[in-house]
């Protein structure tokens, strides 16, 4: 499939634009601009009011003003390094233009004494006298039409000025063709959005500040284009995955019934619904690709195990993978009683298994004697062969990329995939990141989970906190003490954890306090964790390595030092490590005063709610999308126009629209389908275009 001819001018080199040479083209790359079409989506972030005023008298400096003046005398600098001054007079006031490092002959030509000029720039008072340093514009009266009344301000990078960007954008706009409409007619009418080219002209020619808002129809439209292209790509990927035949896996429910009977409580409605959705997918003819999203403590592991039992009931095997050995071991220990209740064989495979023991496990796996395997990515190794792998459960998605999901799928002829994530993600982001997957959400807590009391305490009261801890430990309770990440330097991290460890050991006694941090060898880390799990140590000092999945029911106190330096989602995850047992649990957020406004807002949100989805929405509003999932490893698309914090609601519309369009026109051959291909080309969704080719 080749790029449509209409788009050629937009995909040409930047140097083909007037006023863009090799050097400017190189500099523009710093803004992510490599072709003319990229300029179309480089939107102004603010604007300057350049409306004409009669006199500087009519404004309150400092501010930008545009006035017509008569040029008076020139005053070249008397000494090196002093400014060059030019006297000017508008309708009611004399003031001075000031230039630094300027060439006299150039200024004489620009501002000839006795002539009239239109000038625009920032006026300031200096010793009570008005002056304008380096005007932005100096024009002859007859050129006044070239100055917009409201001038858009573009993002800049080293080596380019506003003038250069504005000129390049104008050149790119002149090349933008009228394209067929890819947005659904009724939606376009309902939202009152302009056509594509009109929208571009509007966003680059704002008439005032309101035109720059994300809610402006032209901006909404361009944002929707981007979200639609992205969701079309994901929908095509999903359709391609769906074409991969799965093995229908139908369980008889007997093993699941045994497990549910053995539980001291009944499943929540959300858990029952999720199991049903998964069973429905596994029975179907296509490969399952589902995300199981649940808040801290919503009982995802139980749902995942019931899903694995469907595979076993159907005569197959299941595997559950965790990102670290500690977590794999923990899943294994947590699942053992459930496996015993169901009467199925569960085994653990990690990088530690060596020699004869490993060989025996692999043989049993290949011959089908192991029903469910729990492991780290060690299960990816070549010599790990399953007898009949039906379901792969992947824990904590963001440590596993899409490529690894595929690799895992290749282990079984038609393995279904279930991904679990404990990070509640706001709906718009979940759609952006996992739009190719179907989603089950666990939004209820199992009965019997007690609320966690959360309090904000200033670090000035550290001694009180340590005293409180000493009393709790004397009563036989256990606590986590999480130290802040210092700057990203592991050495400093270690120092801060080490210092707190020494301090607490002195206060609470030897042998009471343990420590884990990122610098420790894995075996030592596991040993320290094991001592805490066994209750030998009562307080565990840690950097954030304990964030994911650690389960110690007796631990009922969580102290987070310098809580204001952590993100909301991280704090919520850490708090979720307590409140797993019968005791009333407490989370103390130690902060260093004074708190910034953002820091205070974050900690208060956490104090006031335990709902992970609400916390995630707040986090998105405060921090922005890239930050929220750590853009480096999030796989989150970088949108140029769409703003997920403010336009997130459009994402859901785009997803259903994209799926509907593909259902009606899978090959994108109809009029709207062809227009949609144009959109995919325009927004560099080559991946999607290849998928249409495949389909």
Q: What is the DSSP string of 475-540?
A: TT-EEEEEPPPPTT-HHHHHHHHHHHHHHHHHHH-TTTEEEE-TTS-HHHHHHHHHHHHTTSSSEE
Residue 391's contacts (CB-CB under 8 Å, 6 or more residues apart) are 249, 282, 288, 307, 308, 310, 311, 316, 318, 319, 415, 416, 417, 418
Q: How far apart are CA 25 and CA 37, in angstroms?
A: 13
Contact present, 72 and 86 (Cβ < 8 Å): yes
Pick from 261, 395, 276: nearest CA to 340: 261
Within-domain flag for 335: yes
**Of 392, 422, 442, which closes a domain?**
442
Going by DSSP bridges, is the β-strand pair 555-560/478-482 parallel, antiparallel, or unpaired? parallel
Are 384 and 302 members of one domain? yes
- Is 689 strand, coil or helix? helix
**Of 609, 644, 669, which closes a domain?**
609
Q: How far apart are CA 487 and CA 691, in angstroms?
A: 43
In the structure encoding, which two tokens stand for residue 504, read together? 């607490």
Q: What letter does residue 52 receive in the DSSP assignment?
A: B
Are 299 and 421 members of one domain? yes
Are 300 and 374 members of one domain? yes
**Number of structural domains in the chain:** 4
Q: How many CB atoms lie within 10 A of CB 481?
A: 25
Burial of 222: CB neighbours in 10 Å, binned 0-12, 13-18, 19+: buried
Q: What is the CATH number of the domain that holds 508?
A: 3.40.50.300
Are 17 and 66 members of one domain? no
- Whether residue 594 is preceded by a cis peptide bond, meaning omega within 30 degrees of 0, is yes
Within-domain flag for 649: no
Measured at the alpha carbon of residue 631, what is the angle toward residues 629 and 636, in degrees to the nearest 5? 85
Are 190 and 99 members of one domain? no
Are 416 and 462 members of one domain? no
Are 433 and 523 members of one domain? no
Within-domain flag for 249: no
Give φ, ψ of 441 to 5 degrees: -115, 130
Are 488 and 382 members of one domain? no
**Measured distance between the N- and C-terminal CA atoms of the chain, rounded to whole angstroms:** 12
How far is the CA of 513 from the CAs of 469, 498, 504, 566, in angstroms? 11, 11, 7, 23
Q: What is the CATH number of the domain that holds 123?
A: 2.40.50.140
Within-domain flag for 544: yes
Are 316 and 404 members of one domain? yes
Measured at the alpha carbon of residue 56, what is the angle toward residues 51 and 58, in degrees to the nearest 5? 75
Give the bridge partners for 441, in sequence order.
Answer: 293
- The number of helices, as runs of H, and strands, as runs of E, in the chain is 25, 21
- Is 364 strand, coil or helix? helix
- Cα 686 to chain centroid distance, Å, stands at 22
Within-domain flag for 621: no
Q: How far apart are CA 668 and CA 41, in angstroms?
A: 25
Domain range for residue 190? Answer: 5-46+166-212
**Residue that the structure tokens 């959005």 belong to:** 193
- C-alpha gyration radius of the chain: 32
Pick from 539, 541, 540, 590: nearest CA to 565: 590
Within-domain flag for 420: yes
| Conformation bin of residue 303: beta by default, left when phi > 0, alpha when psi is -120 to 50 | alpha
Give φ, ψ of 484 to 5 degrees: -70, 155
Q: H/E/C letters for each residue in 428-459?
A: HHHHHHHCCCEEEEECCCCCCCCCEEEEEEEH
Are 318 and 430 members of one domain? yes
Are 112 and 71 members of one domain? yes
Are 130 and 192 members of one domain? no
Pick from 524, 521, 539: nearest CA to 476: 539
Task: Return the sign of the alpha-carbon dihedral for residues 565, 567, 570, 574.
Answer: positive
Assign 3-state DSSP to the chain and report helix, strand, coil percentages, each to 5: 45, 20, 35
- Whether residue 62 is preceded by a cis peptide bond, meaning omega within 30 degrees of 0, is yes
State the pLDDT at residue 432: 67
Within-domain flag for 644: no
- Cα 361 to chain centroid distance, Å, stands at 40
Pick from 306, 268, 269, 303: nearest CA to 420: 303
Question: What pTM does this model have?
Answer: 0.65
Burial of 93: CB neighbours in 10 Å, binned 0-12, 13-18, 19+: middle
Contact present, 568 and 435 (Cβ < 8 Å): no
**Of 589, 609, 629, which closes a domain?**
609
Contact present, 436 and 241 (Cβ < 8 Å): yes
Mean pLDDT by 10 residues, the chain (695 residues): 85 88 88 90 90 87 91 91 92 92 89 93 89 92 86 87 89 94 93 96 92 92 93 80 77 95 90 95 88 81 95 95 83 92 95 90 95 86 87 71 52 74 71 74 76 90 93 92 68 71 90 84 82 91 65 86 83 83 87 84 87 76 49 52 78 88 90 93 78 56
Pick from 551, 681, 603: nearest CA to 232: 681
Within-domain flag for 593: yes
Burial of 259: CB neighbours in 10 Å, binned 0-12, 13-18, 19+: buried
């Amino acid at each position: 499939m080749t790029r449509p001819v209409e788009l050629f001018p937009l995909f040409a080199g930047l140097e083909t634009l007037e006023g863009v040479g090799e050097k400017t083209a190189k500099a523009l790359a710093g803004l992510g601009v490599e072709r003319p079409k990229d300029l179309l989506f480089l939107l102004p972030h603010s604007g300057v009011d350049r409306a004409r005023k009669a006199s500087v008298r009519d404004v309150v400096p400092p501010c930008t003003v545009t006035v017509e003046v008569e040029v008076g005398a020139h005053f070249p600098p008397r000494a090196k390094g002093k400014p060059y001054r030019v006297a000017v007079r508008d309708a009611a006031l004399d003031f001075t233009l000031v230039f630094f490092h300027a060439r006299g002959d150039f200024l004489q030509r620009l501002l000839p004494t006795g002539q009239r000029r239109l000038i625009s720039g920032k006026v300031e008072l200096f010793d009570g006298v008005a002056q304008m340093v380096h005007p932005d514009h100096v024009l002859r009266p007859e050129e006044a039409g070239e100055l917009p009344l409201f001038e858009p301000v573009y993002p800049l990078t080293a080596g380019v000025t506003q003038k250069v960007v504005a000129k390049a954008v104008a050149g790119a706009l002149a090349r933008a063709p009228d394209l067929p409409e890819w947005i659904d007619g009724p939606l376009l009418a309902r939202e009152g959005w302009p056509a594509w080219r009109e929208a571009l002209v509007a966003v680059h020619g704002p008439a005032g500040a309101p035109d720059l808002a994300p809610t402006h129809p032209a901006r909404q439209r361009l944002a929707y284009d981007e979200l639609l292209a992205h969701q079309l790509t994901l929908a095509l990927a999903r359709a391609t995955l769906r074409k991969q035949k799965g093995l229908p896996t139908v369980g008889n429910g007997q093993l699941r019934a045994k497990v549910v009977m053995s539980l001291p409580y009944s499943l929540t409605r959300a858990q029952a619904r999720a199991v049903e959705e998964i069973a429905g997918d596994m029975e179907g003819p296509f490969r399952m690709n589902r995300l199981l999203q649940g808040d801290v403590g919503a009982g995802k592991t139980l749902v995942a195990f019931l899903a694995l039992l469907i595979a076993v009931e159907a005569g197959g095997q299941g595997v559950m993978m965790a990102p670290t050995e500690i977590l794999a071991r923990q899943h294994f220990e947590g699942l053992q009683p459930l496996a015993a209740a169901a009467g199925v064989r569960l085994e653990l495979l990690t990088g530690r298994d060596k020699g004869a023991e490993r060989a025996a496990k692999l043989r049993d796996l290949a011959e089908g004697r192991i029903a469910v395997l729990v492991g780290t990515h060690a299960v990816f190794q070549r010599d790990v062969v399953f007898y009949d792998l039906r379901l792969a459960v992947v824990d904590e998605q963001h440590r596993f990329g899409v490529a690894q999901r595929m690799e895992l799928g290749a282990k079984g002829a038609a393995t279904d995939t279930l991904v679990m994530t404990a990070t509640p993600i706001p709906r718009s982001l979940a759609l952006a990141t996992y739009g190719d997957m179907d989603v089950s959400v666990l939004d209820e807590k199992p009965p019997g989970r007690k609320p966690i009391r959360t309090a904000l305490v200033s670090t000035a009261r550290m001694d009180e906190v340590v005293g409180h801890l000493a009393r709790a430990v004397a009563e036989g309770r256990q606590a986590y003490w999480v130290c802040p990440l210092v700057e990203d330097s592991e050495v400093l991290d270690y120092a801060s954890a080490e210092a707190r460890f020494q301090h607490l050991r002195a206060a609470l006694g030897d042998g009471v306090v343990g420590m884990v941090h990122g610098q420790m060898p894995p075996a030592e880390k596991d040993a320290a964790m094991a001592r805490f799990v066994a209750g030998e140590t009562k307080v565990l000092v840690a950097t954030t390595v304990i964030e994911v999945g650690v389960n110690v029911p007796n631990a009922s106190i969580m102290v987070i030092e310098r809580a204001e330096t952590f993100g909301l989602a991280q704090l919520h995850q850490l708090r979720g490590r307590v409140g797993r047992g019968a005791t009333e649990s407490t989370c103390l957020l130690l902060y260093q005063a004074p708190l910034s406004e953002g820091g205070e807002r974050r900690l208060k949100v956490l104090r006031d709610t335990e709902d992970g989805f609400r916390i995630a929405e707040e986090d998105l509003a405060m921090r922005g999308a890239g930050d929220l999932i750590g853009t480096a490893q999030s796989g989150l698309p970088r949108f140029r126009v769409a703003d997920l914090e403010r336009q997130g609601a459009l994402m859901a519309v785009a997803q259903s629209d994209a799926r509907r369009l593909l259902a009606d026109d899978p090959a994108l051959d109809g009029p709207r389908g062809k227009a949609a291909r144009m959109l995919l080309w325009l927004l560099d969704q080559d991946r999607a275009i290849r998928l249409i080719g495949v389909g």
